[in-house]
Chains A and B, each alone.
Chain A
Amino acid sequence: MNPPNPLDVLLEWCSILGSGSRGQFDAACDGLLPDQSTPARLLSRLESMGHIDVDWDRSGRWAVIPPTLALIEGSGGNAVLLGARTGGTWQRLVELRRRGVVKDLMAVASSDAYPSTWFVGVASGDDLDSTAAELGGTAVTEPVWWALNHFADLRAIVESARARFVPSGFQAKTFDAPRLRFVDAEVTKDDWPPGCFEQRSQGKHRYIFVNDNGERHILDRWVAVHAELDRCRRRGVAVPDVLTWDRRSQRMANLAGAQLPVQWARAAILCTGLPPHRATQASWTDIYEGVKVTLWKGFCEALAIPLVGEDLSRFDEELR
């Protein structure tokens, strides 16, 4: 008997427990994760794939999302099962296929670093609804657009996160936008210059963005990074093109040093249901497949990123 994919096992474990603490998750991962991976990284991936939500900042709690059958545009009738799933879910899907409600069923493991994607083939909207109901969940069509349209853009998010009190600046690091990495910073006590900073506080990494007016904001890491990139661009500082798109291959490339915040990463993944491929030959880059031009423009508009098309055929070999 072949051992099951440990990441699928961990997702099933989350689905049975429903919710839990970071400590619980770390303990469950012990001995199950592939090399080079960490529980936090896996938790983040499960989150971007739409299986769980994580309250990273406050309680550290994670909670699995109820089963959601999301119809993927361009898939030819294949929906992706997001949220909770167990061996029982698969058995029910097999039963539905036998009854003809589900036309096809496929689990695609496209990466060792992510759980597999379950494609559920249906023939009509009614079948989509009834299949979701049989799994104890709901169906969603056009999930990408829902995700994209629901969330506020970068500037609104930054504005909403203005903070009067921020950590002290002790042993903080600053984001070097041209090089897309955090480096040691000299921040004297509570005297923050404009920029993006990382500091450990209360056992967690905090990300502080200070705009040119000296206003401080405590943000998610990737929101803070994109806010700083936006600030640099407006000041004429050259920064890398972090989100490019190739019309020919319908691929979107996102530099790993400036990843999409989770709500947009989730939308990008839902273009196919498949996780991004991490290209590691040159600058580490996440390649998302099947991204339509309108969606890419939507990402760029939301994150204040200039539109830059790019020939991404150099990744063909690595992606094959």
Chain B
Amino acid sequence: MNIDTWNEVLAGWFLNEGPHRPVYLSSTGAELQRMNDELRLGVADIEEDLRLTVSRATYHCGIRTHSVWVRSDRIAPPPWLAFLAASVLVVQRQTDAGSTEFYNAFSRFLGMVQRLTQREYEESFFVWWGWLALWLEKTHEGRRGFATWRGIPESGPRSVIGHPYTQVLLRREDRRDLDGFLADFGSEHDELPELTDRLQAGLHLVAALRRWSSGRRMLTTRLRSIIEGGSESSVESLAYMLLDRLFDQKAENQESSARRIAVVPVFDELERELHLAAIAPATASLEAPLVLRECTSPMTAPGQPSFLRQIPTGEMLSGGIEMDTPPDLTLVGAGREVHALARREWDLWCGVRTVEDGEEVYFLAPLGMDARLQMRATRRVVANMPSGWTVYGPGLFTPNLEHRAGVALLAKERLLVPRLRGGAALDSRRNYLVGGEPTVELPGASEPVVVDGSRHAVINEELALNELGLGAGAHIVTAGPFRIPFATISGSRLPDVQVALGRTQTGIVVEASDETGGLIAGVKLLNGTPQRGPARLSPVVDRVTLLGSLGEVATVDVGRAGWADRLTLPRTALELAARSTYANGERVIAFPLWLAWVDESGWTVARWDLSAASGAEAMTKSTECQLWRAVVTEIGSDPAIFRYEADLLVRSEELLEMWRNYISPDASE
């Protein structure tokens, strides 16, 4: 095959896994042979053909064609793809031969007269690996898959030539285990920390993989040998690959991950039916329900399971499910040997990735696993159950079951890298309210964590940041090779709140906009009659006198409740709880309005019933009291409390006396 054909074939075979899937340029001898067989290329010796092709095309040709390709639309596969594949093949051969030497062997493979130098490599191959990642994720927008080789640094161990090492490290079956490991930890919706040391961060992931795999039977021999006793270089290559899988996938596919709808198996205990259900994303709401043609009901609340019309099959349960659906969404369900089902917010047993110690669960698994799962398989028929599968339980989940089930980890142990949890988040960009800082979870950490330069002890693998008394501003948590910046903001502005909900007369909470009147929001009546009650406060004075209806005088009770005294609340006003001086002294004056004035002896407060302006005028006239008329003129018809500083013509005592001696107009007539 010529170089162009090689590039096309390699791109089609290795770099076309589909959206959101990791791709590996793992052009080992075995993989090239498999490609040759399955694509029926008819090449007698595929490895030799690659060697001849790249040596004929020459390394310098690769450099020339690269600049042409860069200036083009770059849709076509890169012209040096076969050279990268060759580097992977050489690394595989050298590794199999137990050699760590690379440059001499690769130069020979390329048919170069002079040995390829590191500088030449850095200016070509090192750059090309980067371009290949861009080609996948920018030019083709991740539709062919995402790169798994970008974590290679420019210096330090496994630098420069690390790319082919990561690609050759794992075989197809090993990578499935890696998929399972990352799926179990499920960091898809978490904000990942920044890295201060990529190698150390990668080694942290390898350690987590080692813990995860402990006691698991399904791990491939090759992967187990790497994580349990592999060479330093193998472990480092694995570390970089894990970083790529976890971090770069996240960075490049944040938008696409938001378009993925999780699918889980669901056991309806009441109806004895097994379903697949899509789990409503955070954006689903009553106002904006998500309607999918594959689902039997709209999704109206985050986390709500909505049954799929698709009946579950054994292949879906064990191998997973992925379906594209309009508008631009993908339904994705993970395949597992054993599915843990828990009943939480919804009265259905839904497939979950994390289980708490002591939580009640069912297991959905193949028949014959009673002993391993320590639960009995159900004897009753479950509709839609695939042949060879059943549900076990229910029973309480224990850490002991974690390894037996091989899937369900305790929630806390499922963390892979440090993350911020909870807290009074003001947005999705790690901005929090002062005092509402989150907790930082530190899986596997026992060393102190540094927050803004100060070291803090870690307790139970976490640190509550809200207990540190951090002020407003930018902060940084540093934990080993990980760094998490966040900011705190104080609520210095007045709240700007509109009434959104209200309570009907029967106590039902409804949207305020749905009702035209009669709602209470808090303690305030909406859209009803004005709620402002009688003004019953007066400044604190020594003496208060109240005038009720004409001729009625009441002394105001200036005492207050015992609870307020016990609380030592300051007394800032007198409450004018008026009692009539009439014989039936229990009468509370219903609609008080107040007149108040001050003289040397303090404030005087009077109530004047101005239920109608004309009536008030009549009453005023009838008193024939110039002062009283003057007071009424001064305060108008709606006095409430007011401070009457004016030059009174008579003393308040005289006014009171006149009031007491009032003779009703009817009587005088």
| Interface status of B640 (Cβ within 8 A of chain A) | yes
Pair B495/A84 contact, Cβ less than 8 Å? yes
Q: What residues of B have a CB within 8 angstroms of the CB of A4 in the complex?
A: 434-435
| Interface status of A91 (Cβ within 8 A of chain B) | yes
Pair B533/A142 contact, Cβ less than 8 Å? yes
| Interface status of B567 (Cβ within 8 A of chain A) | yes
Pair A58/B286 contact, Cβ less than 8 Å? yes
| Interface status of B285 (Cβ within 8 A of chain A) | yes
Chain B 435-460, CB within 8 Å of chain A: the 1/0 string? Answer: 11011000000000000000000000
Q: What residues of B have a CB within 8 angstroms of the CB of A290 in the complex?
A: 561-564
CB contacts under 8 Å to B, within A1-54, are: 1-4, 6, 8-10, 12-13, 15-19, 21, 23, 27-32, 50-51, 53-54
Pair B302/A23 contact, Cβ less than 8 Å? yes
CB nearest neighbor in B for A23: B302
Pair B537/A122 contact, Cβ less than 8 Å? yes
Pair A124/B522 contact, Cβ less than 8 Å? no
Pair B422/A27 contact, Cβ less than 8 Å? yes
Pair B640/A126 contact, Cβ less than 8 Å? yes
Pair B564/A67 contact, Cβ less than 8 Å? no
> When the two chains form the complex, which single residue of A32, A91, A127 contacts B492, counting CB atoms closer than 8 Å?
A91
Given contacts A63-B501, A103-B570, A152-B505, contact A27 B520 (CB under 8 A): no
CB nearest neighbor in A for B594: A125
CB nearest neighbor in B for A78: B569
Given contacts A21-B302, A53-B509, A86-B491, contact A104 B422 (CB under 8 A): no
> When the two chains form the complex, which single residue of B345, B510, B531, B562 contacts A203, counting CB atoms closer than 8 Å?
B345
CB nearest neighbor in B for A13: B424
Chain A 45-76, CB within 8 Å of chain B: the 1/0 string? Answer: 00000110111111111111111101101111
Q: What residues of A have a CB within 8 angstroms of the CB of B296 in the complex?
A: none
Q: What residues of B have a CB within 8 angstroms of the CB of A55 in the complex?
A: 501, 509-511
Chain B 483-497, CB within 8 Å of chain A: the 1/0 string? Answer: 000000011111111
| Interface status of A147 (Cβ within 8 A of chain B) | yes
The complex places the Cα of A3 from the Cα of B466 at a distance, in Å, of 7
The complex places the Cα of A53 from the Cα of B501 at a distance, in Å, of 6
Query: How far does the Cβ of B472 sit from chain A's closest Cβ, in whole Å?
Result: 10
State the interface size on chain B (CB cutoff 8 A): 81
Query: How far does the Cβ of B98 sit from chain A's closest Cβ, in whole Å?
Result: 51
CB nearest neighbor in B for A189: B270
| Interface status of B303 (Cβ within 8 A of chain A) | yes
Query: How far does the Cβ of B536 sit from chain A's closest Cβ, in whole Å?
Result: 7
Pair A250/B561 contact, Cβ less than 8 Å? yes
The complex places the Cα of A266 from the Cα of B466 at a distance, in Å, of 30
Q: What residues of A have a CB within 8 angstroms of the CB of B469 in the complex?
A: 1-3
Q: Is the interface of B mostly helix, strand, loop or mixed?
A: loop
Pair A170/B270 contact, Cβ less than 8 Å? yes
The complex places the Cα of A160 from the Cα of B304 at a distance, in Å, of 29
Given contacts A87-B491, A125-B537, contact A76 B573 (CB under 8 A): yes
Pair A122/B507 contact, Cβ less than 8 Å? no
> When the two chains form the complex, which single residue of A123, A135, A142, A202 contacts B494, counting CB atoms closer than 8 Å?
A135
| Interface status of B539 (Cβ within 8 A of chain A) | yes
| Interface status of A243 (Cβ within 8 A of chain B) | no
CB nearest neighbor in B for A66: B497
Max chain A Cβ within 10 angstroms of own Cβ: one of B493, B511, B525, B569: B569
Query: How far does the Cβ of A292 sit from chain B's closest Cβ, in whole Å?
Result: 9
Pair A64/B497 contact, Cβ less than 8 Å? yes
Given contacts A16-B495, A29-B422, contact A146 B433 (CB under 8 A): no
Query: How far does the Cβ of A294 sit from chain B's closest Cβ, in whole Å?
Result: 11
The complex places the Cα of A170 from the Cα of B495 at a distance, in Å, of 45
Given contacts A86-B493, A263-B503, A289-B563, contact A31 B510 (CB under 8 A): no
| Interface status of B64 (Cβ within 8 A of chain A) | no
| Interface status of B613 (Cβ within 8 A of chain A) | no
Q: What residues of A have a CB within 8 angstroms of the CB of B433 in the complex?
A: 9, 12-13, 16
> When the two chains form the complex, which single residue of B282, B471, B564 contacts A76, counting CB atoms closer than 8 Å?
B564
CB nearest neighbor in B for A129: B532
Given contacts A6-B435, A138-B524, contact A74 B493 (CB under 8 A): no
Q: What residues of B have a CB within 8 angstroms of the CB of A104 in the complex?
A: 570, 572
CB nearest neighbor in B for A248: B562
Pair A70/B523 contact, Cβ less than 8 Å? yes
Query: How far does the Cβ of B446 sit from chain A's closest Cβ, in whole Å?
Result: 20
Query: How far does the Cβ of A258 sit from chain B's closest Cβ, in whole Å?
Result: 16
| Interface status of B506 (Cβ within 8 A of chain A) | yes
Pair A157/B507 contact, Cβ less than 8 Å? yes
Chain B 634-650, CB within 8 Å of chain A: the 1/0 string? Answer: 00000011000000000
The complex places the Cα of A233 from the Cα of B392 at a distance, in Å, of 45
Max chain B Cβ within 10 angstroms of own Cβ: one of A16, A200, A220, A223: A16
CB nearest neighbor in A for B463: A31
Query: How far does the Cβ of A274 sit from chain B's closest Cβ, in whole Å?
Result: 8
> When the two chains form the complex, which single residue of B493, B522, B538, B641 contacts A88, counting CB atoms closer than 8 Å?
B493
Query: How far does the Cβ of B638 sit from chain A's closest Cβ, in whole Å?
Result: 12
Query: How far does the Cβ of B537 sit from chain A's closest Cβ, in whole Å?
Result: 5
| Interface status of A82 (Cβ within 8 A of chain B) | yes
| Interface status of A83 (Cβ within 8 A of chain B) | yes
Pair A141/B536 contact, Cβ less than 8 Å? yes
| Interface status of B423 (Cβ within 8 A of chain A) | yes
Max chain B Cβ within 10 angstroms of own Cβ: one of A18, A88, A203: A203
Pair A78/B524 contact, Cβ less than 8 Å? no
Pair A74/B436 contact, Cβ less than 8 Å? no
| Interface status of B575 (Cβ within 8 A of chain A) | yes
CB contacts under 8 Å to A, within B570-587, are: 570-575
CB nearest neighbor in B for A266: B523
The complex places the Cα of A126 from the Cα of B425 at a distance, in Å, of 38
Max chain A Cβ within 10 angstroms of own Cβ: one of B468, B500, B538, B574: B500
Given contacts A84-B497, A141-B535, A141-B536, contact A77 B507 (CB under 8 A): no
Pair B466/A220 contact, Cβ less than 8 Å? no
Given contacts A64-B497, A203-B345, contact A74 B564 (CB under 8 A): yes
The complex places the Cα of A29 from the Cα of B422 at a distance, in Å, of 7
Pair A89/B347 contact, Cβ less than 8 Å? no
Pair B439/A31 contact, Cβ less than 8 Å? yes
| Interface status of A282 (Cβ within 8 A of chain B) | no
> When the two chains form the complex, which single residue of B490, B507, B537, B564 contacts A261, counting CB atoms closer than 8 Å?
B507
Q: What residues of A have a CB within 8 angstroms of the CB of B435 in the complex?
A: 3-4, 6, 8-9, 12
Given contacts A3-B466, A88-B492, A202-B347, contact A124 B537 (CB under 8 A): yes
Max chain B Cβ within 10 angstroms of own Cβ: one of A59, A65, A70, A77: A77
> When the two chains form the complex, which single residue of A60, A65, A86, A160 contacts B521, counting CB atoms closer than 8 Å?
A65
Q: What residues of A have a CB within 8 angstroms of the CB of B560 in the complex?
A: 74-76
Given contacts A77-B574, A87-B491, A263-B507, contact A31 B466 (CB under 8 A): yes
Given contacts A53-B501, A146-B523, contact A32 B533 (CB under 8 A): no
Q: What residues of A have a CB within 8 angstroms of the CB of B425 in the complex?
A: 27-28
| Interface status of A313 (Cβ within 8 A of chain B) | no
| Interface status of A242 (Cβ within 8 A of chain B) | no
The complex places the Cα of A9 from the Cα of B523 at a distance, in Å, of 23
Q: What residues of A have a CB within 8 angstroms of the CB of B499 in the complex?
A: 63, 65-66
Query: How far does the Cβ of A257 sit from chain B's closest Cβ, in whole Å?
Result: 20
Pair A53/B502 contact, Cβ less than 8 Å? yes
5 contacts between A and B (CB under 8 A): A78-B564, A87-B434, A88-B493, A135-B494, A151-B503
B interface list, Cβ under 8 A from A: 270, 282, 285-286, 301-304, 344-347, 421-426, 433-436, 438-439, 464, 466-469, 471, 490-503, 505-507, 509-511, 520-525, 531-540, 560-564, 567, 569-575, 640-641
The 3 closest A-B pairs by CB, nearest first: A30-B422, A77-B573, A74-B561
15 new A-B contacts, CB < 8 A, other than A9-B434, A13-B436, A138-B524, are A9-B433, A10-B424, A12-B491, A13-B433, A28-B422, A30-B438, A78-B564, A86-B495, A88-B495, A122-B537, A146-B531, A150-B525, A152-B507, A202-B347, A203-B346
